[in-house]
């Protein structure tokens, strides 16, 4: 060590205090037996400034435990819920997933919801299409799952099937949470 990197006596004392509780591992990852040595007598209590403080945990978006279900409105006032069900809310943005692969559609949905929330959009329309055969298209079935996955679940307040003039069974109204 260079002279500028030497530990002060207080740092050495703190280091010894921290390493007393460490149990070394052997090569197989098992704890090695430690020799029984008497604990050194503490000379003095560590100064309060020398005690390390754990770094604060990064803020994580709160993800609700309850999954969002199509047609079920919770955490929304009655008037807004009725307006959403009737298709009376102003649509602030549209995302058409027709012709996209699942991977591209999933990425597009994630980007669209993030941008919509950042721009303060409240009600958006996600057009999945009905599918080719029996009305059970791949995107139609996958979008509700994607809406319940992080980070989208933290952005979505409610999901309703769209009214016929907005796409009916091949589209969804998504109510986006406000950024706080």
Domain boundaries, the chain: 8-20+37-53, 78-176
Q: What would the 3-class secondary structure string for 27-54 be?
A: CCCCECCCCCCCCCCCCCCCCHHHCCCC
Q: Does the pLDDT of residue 67 top 60, yes or no?
A: yes
Pairing of strands 123-127, 93-96: parallel
Q: What class is the 78-176 domain?
A: alpha beta
Tell me the average pLDDT across 69-78.
77
Tell me the average pLDDT across 147-174.
91
Q: Which of 44-48, 122-126, 167-171 shows the lowest mean pLDDT across its residues?
A: 44-48
Classify 95 as helix, strand or coil: strand
CA distances from 111 to 92, 124, 155 (A): 15, 13, 12
124 falls in which pLDDT band (50, 70, 90)? very high
Tell me the average pLDDT across 155-164.
91
Q: Does the pLDDT of residue 59 top 90, yes or no?
A: no
pLDDT per residue as tens digits for the range 18-44: 777 777 666 665 655 555 555 555 555
71 falls in which pLDDT band (50, 70, 90)? confident
Mean pLDDT of all residues in the chain?
79
pTM score over 0.75: no
Contact (CB, 8 A) for 144 and 70: yes
What pLDDT is stored for residue 109 in this prediction? 96
143 falls in which pLDDT band (50, 70, 90)? very high
Most confident of 66-70, 76-80, 169-173: 169-173
Q: Using CA atoms, how far apart are residues 118 and 161, in angstroms rounded to an integer?
A: 24
What pLDDT is stored for residue 99 in this prediction? 86
Smallest CA-to-CA distance from 175 within 108, 104, 80, 63 is with 80
Question: pLDDT > 70: what percent of the chain?
Answer: 72
Q: Using CA atoms, how far apart are residues 115 and 157, in angstroms rounded to an integer?
A: 16
Residue 134 or 160, more confident? 160
Q: Using CA atoms, how far apart are residues 95 and 128, in angstroms rounded to an integer?
A: 9
Q: Does the pLDDT of residue 51 top 70, yes or no?
A: no
Contact (CB, 8 A) for 13 and 46: yes
């Amino acid at each position: 060590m260079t002279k500028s990197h030497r530990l002060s006596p207080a740092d050495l004392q703190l280091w010894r205090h921290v390493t007393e509780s460490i149990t070394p591992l052997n090569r197989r990852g098992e704890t090695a037996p430690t020799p029984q040595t008497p604990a050194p007598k503490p000379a003095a209590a560590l100064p309060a400034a020398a005690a390390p403080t754990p770094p604060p945990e990064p803020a994580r978006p709160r993800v609700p435990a309850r999954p969002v279900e199509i047609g079920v409105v919770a955490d929304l006032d009655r008037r807004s819920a009725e307006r959403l069900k009737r298709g009376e809310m102003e649509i602030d943005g549209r995302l058409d997933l027709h012709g996209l692969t699942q991977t591209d559609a999933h990425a597009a949905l994630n980007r669209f919801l993030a941008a919509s929330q950042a721009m303060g959009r409240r009600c958006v329309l996600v057009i999945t299409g009905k599918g080719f055969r029996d009305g059970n298209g791949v995107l139609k079935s996958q979008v509700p799952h994607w809406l319940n996955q992080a980070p989208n679940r933290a952005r979505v307040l409610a999901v309703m099937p769209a009214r016929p003039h907005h796409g009916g069974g091949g589209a969804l109204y998504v109510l986006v949470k406000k950024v706080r």
